[in-house]
């Protein structure tokens, strides 16, 4: 199937009800009619066209993300554009081998047969993307959906309206609507989409909304990939290089103003390294974002909170912690007119504080001292499984102890966040932090049905068919005893 460009005026945005149902029906017809036409060549062409449109609209993407929450240009290039470009390049490089039928080994019981697995498109897919990385988390999954040969409807977040409108335009410029389309709108649009019998749903967002998506999918027995979140911990032992850890943590935590699902949520640090860590983090924050409050606020490299509701939520977390005895170690400056909270370190938190129970998702980083790492492991295991877990240590045994005795979606040792960018690693959560995986082959697989195909060549299984005469019974008993 060749991908035809959309010409003429921008399409009417689908509303709720009939227009969305009509769009879904057209994509369902397209998915069935073009199943055999979504060849390797056609899929490669789709991916190339998407990349070309994004390249042409790079300045518009940068401008839209700045308009929505002042995301710096360099962050846009590194965290929004690069992951999608890499996903496209990786898929184009490996798609031929992914599509090739995979032969599987036989068994004595299947002697005389040949078997293989083929990856087949699931059909019509729904991609519900969040506001924090709207381009990356809309178009990245789309790459996997197209590589697998599906049609797709994207529902971007209404909280980043400039970027959502641009994603709509990029898709409309690149694909016919019966192949890929964008539905803008609020929760009512999302609910209308979730009421439809999609073949797969890819959702990125909070665990609370993830449960709603999964419940809706269950009504149609629709498969899901859920990229959720959680309180991703960082553990730093007494052997770690504190300066190196601080530099990586400040980048991983305060990029995008902390609005990253895999950002370090809180730090456990060996008590004898706590003061050194706080000082190193403070120095790194000031080196990167400015020595004074005014420099940090006016700097060009620091994003803003997406909207007043999230700003007020973060302020409430800080205020609750402070009222219960926590200490602001760095930052804490706020400006509601700009939805600005400076990079903030907070100490002396307790498990009873809201900041210790809720995913922070903002530029506030609690520092928790420990004496016995087993207490840290117990505390991590007492809560929901996080999306990511980070360990900083020079001792492999210490890192292995953490990895072997905890569960999380992913792990970085002596780094953070960057596992998201590795094209050959599955990215996803565990239970409360997610279901299924994305990126590279794993994303292709999530949007594909693994179809088992068996060919009978000279199988002797017919000797075990009824009527169950004494000789057939003996043959069955012998087969079970020897091969079972």
Catalytic residues: 227, 261
User: How far apart (Å, rounded) are the C-alpha atoms in residues 126 and 203?
Assistant: 8
Report whether 249 contacts 260 (CB < 8 A). Answer: no
* Helix runs in 303-395, H state only: 308-323, 354-357, 373-381
Q: Determine whether 150 is exposed, middle or buried from the number of CB atoms within 10 Å of its CB (0-12, 13-18, 19+).
A: buried
Task: Tell me the helix, strand and coil percentages in the chain, rounded to 5.
Answer: 50, 20, 35
Q: Which helix (H) or strand (E) holds 342?
A: none
Report whether 446 contacts 144 (CB < 8 A). Answer: yes
Q: Determine whether 200 is exposed, middle or buried from the number of CB atoms within 10 Å of its CB (0-12, 13-18, 19+).
A: buried
Q: Determine whether 86 is exposed, middle or buried from the number of CB atoms within 10 Å of its CB (0-12, 13-18, 19+).
A: middle
For residue 131, the number of C-alpha atoms closer than 13 Å in the C-beta half-sphere is 23
User: How far apart (Å, rounded) are the C-alpha atoms in residues 134 and 75?
Assistant: 13
User: How far apart (Å, rounded) are the C-alpha atoms in residues 1 and 70?
Assistant: 40
- DSSP structure class, residue 79: I
* Helix runs in 327-448, H state only: 354-357, 373-381, 396-405, 440-446
Residues in the chain: 484
Report whether 135 contacts 146 (CB < 8 A). Answer: no
Report whether 226 contacts 436 (CB < 8 A). Answer: yes
CA–CA–CA angle 324, 433, 247 (5° rounding): 65
Report whether 358 contacts 317 (CB < 8 A). Answer: yes
Alpha-carbon distances of 404 from 268, 328, 370, 382, rounded to whole Å: 18, 34, 19, 16
User: How far apart (Å, rounded) are the C-alpha atoms in residues 390 and 233?
Assistant: 6
């Amino acid at each position: 199937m060749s991908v035809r460009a959309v010409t003429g005026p921008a399409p009417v945005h689908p509303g709720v009800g009939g227009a969305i149902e009509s769009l879904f029906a057209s994509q369902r017809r397209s998915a069935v009619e073009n199943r055999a036409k979504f060849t390797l060549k056609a899929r490669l062409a789709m991916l190339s066209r998407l990349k070309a449109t994004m390249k042409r609209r790079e300045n518009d993407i940068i401008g839209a993300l700045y308009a929505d929450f002042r995301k710096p240009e360099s962050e846009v290039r590194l965290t929004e554009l690069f992951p999608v470009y890499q996903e496209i390049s990786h898929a184009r490089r490996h798609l031929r081998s992914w599509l090739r039928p995979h032969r599987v080994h036989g068994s004595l019981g299947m002697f005389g047969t040949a078997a293989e697995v083929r990856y087949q498109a699931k059909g019509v897919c729904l991609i519900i993307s969040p506001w924090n990385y709207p381009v990356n988390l809309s178009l990245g999954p789309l790459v996997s959906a197209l590589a697998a040969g599906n049609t797709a409807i994207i529902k971007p977040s209404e909280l980043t309206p400039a970027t959502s409108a641009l994603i709509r335009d990029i898709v409309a410029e690149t694909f016919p609507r019966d192949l890929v389309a964008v539905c803008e709108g609020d929760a009512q649009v999302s609910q209308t989409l979730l009421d439809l019998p999609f073949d797969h749903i890819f959702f990125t967002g909070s665990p609370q909304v993830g449960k709603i998506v999964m419940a809706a999918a269950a009504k149609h027995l629709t498969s899901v990939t859920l990229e959720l979140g959680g309180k991703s911990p960082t553990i730093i032992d007494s052997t770690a290089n504190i300066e190196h850890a601080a530099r990586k943590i400040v980048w991983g935590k305060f990029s995008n103003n902390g609005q990253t699902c895999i950002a370090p949520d809180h730090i456990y640090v060996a008590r004898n390294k706590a003061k050194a860590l706080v000082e190193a983090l403070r120095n790194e924050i000031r080196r990167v974002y400015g020595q004074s409050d005014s420099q940090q606020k006016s700097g060009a490299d620091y994003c803003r909170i997406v909207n007043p509701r999230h700003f007020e939520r973060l302020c409430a977390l800080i205020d609750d912690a402070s009222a219960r005895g926590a200490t602001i170690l760095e930052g804490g400056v706020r400006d509601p007119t700009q939805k600005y909270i400076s990079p903030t370190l907070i100490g002396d938190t307790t498990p009873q504080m809201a900041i210790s129970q809720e995913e922070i998702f903002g530029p506030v980083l609690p520092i928790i001292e420990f004496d016995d790492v087993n207490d840290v492991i117990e505390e991590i295991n007492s809560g929901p499984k996080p999306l990511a877990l980070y360990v900083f240590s020079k001792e492999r045994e210490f890192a292995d102890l953490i990895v072997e005795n905890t569960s999380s979606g992913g792990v970085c040792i002596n780094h953070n966040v960057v596992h998201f960018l590795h094209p050959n690693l599955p990215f996803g959560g565990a239970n409360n932090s997610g279901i299924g995986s994305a990126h590279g082959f794993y994303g292709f697989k999530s949007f594909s049905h693994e179809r088992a195909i068996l060919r009978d060549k000279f199988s002797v299984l017919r000797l075990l068919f009824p009527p169950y005469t004494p000789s057939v019974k003996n043959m069955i008993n012998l087969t079970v005893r020897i091969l079972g």
